[in-house]
Structure 1
């Protein structure tokens, strides 16, 4: 069953979510650099295949945390998360994208990011 968030409930989860997003951003950059270096020259200052697998495993843990909380991770570059909610009887997603200071937007569930409005 899909978890339905209140605005307050979603905002209360944001400190932990933002901490994990910070880790995800670092992992994303490390994996990109490591993968590029390995493809180009076969070696990287970031390590080798074992390190890449370790980074991928940690990334999977973070992605799993969002799913366990009922938060929809829509993208990782940039990080975009949605919290299922109902506002005025309408199914919406409380929407946060990497770089925003707080959870301050929503969109109707069927419209997606293009339908974003301020809370």
Structure 2
């Protein structure tokens, strides 16, 4: 039922056809092709459907076999964003063991720094 709802919602998506077509064409280009773009910048006024468009592009990419990750302004820091990207890609079968190790080290060092500051205040 959820899949049917998702399909109907996607079928009702209106507008931004040029952006979707450009994105699809880009996915057909080899990364070595100088026309291939690695970054698509989505911008616009609040409420115009940017998040919906990005989710649509994410679905197109997944259909083409690409790994995808999505973070938004709710992420508080760069390490937090990297952790979320790693988590999402890991769920798709693409693990970044070294990144995960470095992020764990970063979290541990931050904890140590915080506990050191707390000890200094006492």
Q: TM-score range by the shorter chain?
A: 0.3 to 0.5
TM-score in terms of structure 1 length: 0.33
Larger strand fraction of residues: 1
- Higher RCO, 1 or 2 (CA under 8 Å, sep at least 6)? 1
TM-score in terms of structure 2 length: 0.32
Larger helix fraction of residues: 2
